[in-house]
Amino acid sequence: MLVDGVQIGAPGVYIAKPPPQRQLLGVPMDVCAFVGVAPRGPARVPYTDEELFFADISPDEVTAALDAPIVDPIRRHRRSVAVPVESWDDYVRLFGSFEGPGRLPYSVASFFEQGGRRAYVVRIVHDFGPLDPLPYRGTARGRMKGFAVDGVVRRIRFRARNEGTWGNGLTVRISFTTQQLVFEPPAAADRFTVPPKNAPPVGTLLRFWLPGGTAELRIVQDVELEHDLTTFQDHAVVTFGLALTGAPERIEVVQATVDVNDGAGRTERHEGLALGGAHPQQIATVLATDSELVWPWHAWASSDLVPTSPFLPDLVAGSFTKGRDGYADLVTEDFFDPDWFDDPTWVPGKTPNPLSGIQSVLEAEEVATLVVPDLYEPSPLPSTEGILDPAPPGSPYFTRCEPAPPSGTQEVQPPDLPGLMLDPADPTELDEIVALQQRLAGVADSTRAFVVLLDVPPGLDQRRIVHWRGNFATSYAAAYHPWLDVVRSVDGGNVKARMNPSAFAAGIMADRERKLGVPFGPSNEIAVRVVDVADAVAPVRHAELHPLGVNVFLRVRDGVQLTAARTLSDDASYRQLSVRRLMMMLVRTLRREMQWVVFEPNNRSLQADLRQLLRSYLSQLYRANAFTGATEDEAFFVRCDDSLNTQDVLDAGELIAEIGVAPAEPLEFLVVRLVHTGDGTLLVDETSR
């Protein structure tokens, strides 16, 4: 008999396990997603399992796609993937450094420099439409001699893991190691026996040494267990298809090692690999799963590979070619999912179809903020004319190189991202920029999944900044001004480049949240590595922009300081970014850590447990200064009783709880009041508001 979870049998003392301790721990809000242009990085990644994206093809096509190798073009591919990185080195390993025309690497570097610890990165590539069958479009390819593939001597091919000219520097080297296999003599020309524990798996490559010093290679086709009725011993009978030309004297197990080098310092080594298509550690299987640099070509991905020389020399695939950067193909529409529609009922992790563009960030549930540095290109990044010479030793400044004297007519270089070029000085193009930013804010507002950080377009005067601000009315967006100048090492020189202020704000926000918590506004912090501002905002202008919710970076004595943390909401209750983020944290915590409720009996005991659990969590936040109020009763309330959970509600299988909180707003103003009393005394009173 089961009583309180304990199986009761004979009379005696039984110890019941204590009930599980329920508590709400909260969720981190310091993770930011960056979406932009990079010279390399995951994109057009094939699907690995059956998902609803197959809904538009027939069941037979679904079966064929799932049976095909993962690298086969018949499989659908995901154009955009949100990839987590936890350091600048992580980012460089996957996406490259500052060598491309996009501002994405500058933004990610700034995020980590300000104190960020975890980010998601989405590399944008061009959308060629739903009928595009080529996940390997723009990827470099290389060939390797020295194999018989399913018995036919031909070259095998590899391709770079993702598109870009970076792949043209790849080399792939396959070397071999051998280990002697103990077998039970005599061995026949088509089979041999071994103890079961020594049996090589199907798909293992074997080297057989024959009389006279000749060697032959075969792949294990089958392994069967037999029981010897005479000796009462088990044996494994290994067969390998094509018979040998003689009885072997020695047998060796052959394994492959694959070394991959991209020519820019990134290397991989994959050891202990098999060459038979049926082996779970076959070369193609391991590379498809574990490599960050290459894909195996689909034509041999499930094949048996046998080196043409039984003496197993190293084999090299070099001269990768046809890698192409798709910068010229990019257009602003590539940043959005063409099939996305605003859905107020959308729930993170429950979307029916994989997403692309910025919407792919929605699949990373821990993301709390979003920065899109390459949404449009206001001006190309500086080329060699922006190179700075290091100043003399001991000087904290850089000096600009003197340009070389012109020699004849100089050719004007076209922009690297022509499809993203939009000039804020042009009224028509400024309207396009606003429309793109409104789409970003719309996704954030409708899904309530993150806060998008927007950059005020560079070069706008005060009147146009105020006009730009009037296009937004959501607490799920925040605006930053002006753009900031940084110095980076590019191609051996130091380049001064103008960058999106939102990236710096995202890093400051993440650092502040980790150190102090969400209730504390992410402002009044010095931005690291900033050397100048594009627009030195005067106090009079700042006084106009701040009430509008435009967060300004000001040049101060110690550097460049972020002075505010407001949203673009027209609702005064959500004007502070810390309030919006606090409410997001509450919703996320309840959504992620209250799932156990759905399996509990819906009764008054559950209601009491909920009230206690919620009050305990809110009390912790109150003690952390997240709420205003002299007492907890003034700061928050929790209701979960019969007034909400009527019999009709219970009959419908529902449980309703209401939580009310009074978030504390950050202190923004200190007011010093001077009072001259009648007796001539001067009183100085400091108050705040």
- Say if strands 156-160 and 215-219 run parallel, antiparallel, or are unpaired: unpaired
Is residue 388 pLDDT above 50, yes or no? Answer: no
Q: What is the dihedral of CA 386, 391, 397, 403, to 10 degrees?
A: -30
Task: Report the first-to-last Cα separation within the chain, whole angstroms.
Answer: 65
The pLDDT value recorded for residue 686 is 44
**Locate tokens 């524990």: which residue?**
197
Instruction: For residue 573, count other CB atoms closer than 10 A to its CB.
Output: 12
Tell me how far apart the alpha carbons of residues 316 and 50 are, in angstroms, rounded to a whole number.
35
Residues 328 and 415: their CA atoms lie apart, in Å, by 9
- Residue pair 581/506 in contact (Cβ under 8 Å)? The answer is no
Span 102-120, pLDDT tens digits: 999 999 999 999 999 999 9
Q: Which residue, 89, 117, 86, 38, is CA-closest to 507?
A: 117
- 483: tokens are 């753009």
pLDDT the model gives residue 361: 95
Q: In the prediction, which pLDDT does 517 show? A: 87
pLDDT band at 687 (very low <50, low <70, confident <90, very high): very low
> Regarding predicted confidence, which is higher, 641 or 315?
315
Mean pLDDT along residues 51-75: 63
The CATH code of the domain at 32-43+81-129+327-577 is 3.40.50.11780
Phi-psi region of 517 (alpha: psi -120 to 50; beta: other; left: phi over 0): left
Mean pLDDT of 73-94: 91
Residues 6+ apart with CB under 8 A from 165: 39, 140, 323, 324, 325
Q: Is the pLDDT of residue 344 over 60?
A: no
User: Residue 393 pLDDT more than 50?
Assistant: no
**What is the distance between the alpha carbons of residues 419 and 375, in angstroms, rounded to a whole number?**
11
Mean pLDDT of all residues in 16-33: 75
Look at residue 561 and give its three-state secondary structure: strand
Mean pLDDT calculated for residue range 537-549 = 96
pLDDT of res. 353: 60
Q: In terms of pLDDT, which residue wins out, 66 or 352?
A: 66
Tell me the pLDDT tens digit for each residue of 575-623. 999 999 999 998 888 888 887 787 788 888 888 888 888 899 999 999 9
Q: φ and ψ at 224, to 5 degrees?
A: -125, 140
Q: Are 615 and 638 in contact (CB under 8 A)?
A: yes
Residue 159: closest CA among 38, 37, 71: 71
- The per-residue DSSP string of 338-361 comes to TT----TT--TT--SS---GGGGG
* Separation of alpha carbons 131 and 112, rounded Å: 38
Q: For residue range 616-642, list pLDDT tens digits in order.
A: 999 999 998 889 989 999 999 999 888
What is the reported pLDDT for 355?
85
Give the count of alpha carbons within 13 A of 504, CB side only. Answer: 31
Q: Are 199 and 246 in contact (CB under 8 A)?
A: no
Is the pLDDT higher at 131 or at 648? 648
Q: Is the pLDDT of residue 231 over 90?
A: no
- Model confidence at 397, pLDDT cuts 50, 70, 90, reads very low
Reduced to 3 states (helix: H, G, I; strand: E, B; else coil), residue 640 is: coil
Provide the pLDDT confidence category of residue 146 given band limits of 50, 70 and 90: very high
pLDDT tens-digit profile of 418-456? 999 999 999 999 999 999 999 999 999 999 999 999 999
Question: Of 77, 120, 175, 143, which Cα lies nearest the Cα of 294?
Answer: 143
As a whole number, mean pLDDT of residues 651-663 equals 88
Contact 480, 83 (CB under 8 A): no
- pLDDT band per the 50, 70, 90 thresholds, residue 688: very low
% residues pLDDT > 90 (the chain): 61
State the pLDDT at residue 19.
56
Query: Residue 263: which of 493, 99, 109 has the closest Cα?
Result: 99
Residue 499 pLDDT exceeds 90: yes
What is the pLDDT averaged over residues 495-513? 95
Burial of 517 (0-12, 13-18, 19+ CB in 10 A): middle
**Whether pLDDT at 384 is above 60:** no
323 falls in which pLDDT band (50, 70, 90)?
very high
The CA distance from 295 to 375, in Å, is 30
DSSP 123-165: E------TT---TTTT--EEEE-SEEETTEE--EEEEESSSSG
- Please report the DSSP string for 641-680 in residue order: STTTS-HHHHHTT----EEEE-BPPPP--EEEEEEE-TTS
Give one DSSP letter per residue of 480-495, joined into a string: EES-EEEEEEETTEEE
**For the packed helices 501-516 and 104-114, what is the interaxial angle rounded to 10 degrees?**
30
For residue 94, what pLDDT is reported?
96
DSSP per-residue string spanning 393-455: TT-S-EEEPPPPPP-SPPPPPPPS-GGGB--TTSHHHHHHHHHHHHHHHHHHHHH-S-EEEEE
| Paired tokens of 189 | 């020309």
Distance, in Å, from the CA atom of 684 to the CA atom of 677, rounded to the nearest integer, reads 11
Interacting residues of 554 by C-beta distance below 8 A, sequence separation 6+: 533, 537, 542, 560, 561, 563
What letters, b where the CB count within 10 A reaches 16 and e where it falls short, cover 264-287?
eebebebeebbbbbbbebbbbbbb
User: What secondary structure letter does DSSP report for 463?
Assistant: H
CA 507 to CA 501: how far, in whole Å?
10
Question: Which range, 64-73, 250-259, 384-393, 644-653, is most confident?
Answer: 250-259
Q: Enumerate the domain spans of the chain.
A: 32-43+81-129+327-577, 45-78, 141-317, 602-689
Question: What average pLDDT does range 190-209 have in this prediction?
Answer: 94
Angle at 266 between CA 494 and CA 79, to 5 degrees: 90
| Averaged confidence pLDDT in the chain | 86
Q: Specify the amino acid at residue 150.
A: D
Residue with tokens 């005599």: 186
* Own/partner long-range contacts of 416-419 (Cβ < 8 Å, ≥24 apart): 416/100, 416/101, 416/327, 416/328, 416/380, 417/37, 417/101, 417/102, 417/327, 417/328, 417/330, 417/374, 417/377, 417/380, 418/328, 419/328, 419/329, 419/330, 419/331, 419/332
The CA–CA distances, whole Å, from 488 to 19, 114, 149, 284 equal 57, 15, 48, 39
| Residue 283 pLDDT | 96
Reduce the secondary structure of 264-300 to three states and give it as a string: CCCEEEEEEEECCCCCCCEHHHHHHHHCCCEEECHHH
More confident residue, 392 or 165: 165
Contacts of 222 (CB under 8 A, 6+ apart): 202, 238, 239
Going by the DSSP 8-state scheme, the letter that residue 244 receives in this structure is: P
Counting Cα atoms < 13 Å in the Cβ hemisphere of 133 gives 4
Q: Which residue has the tokens 């104190």?
A: 115
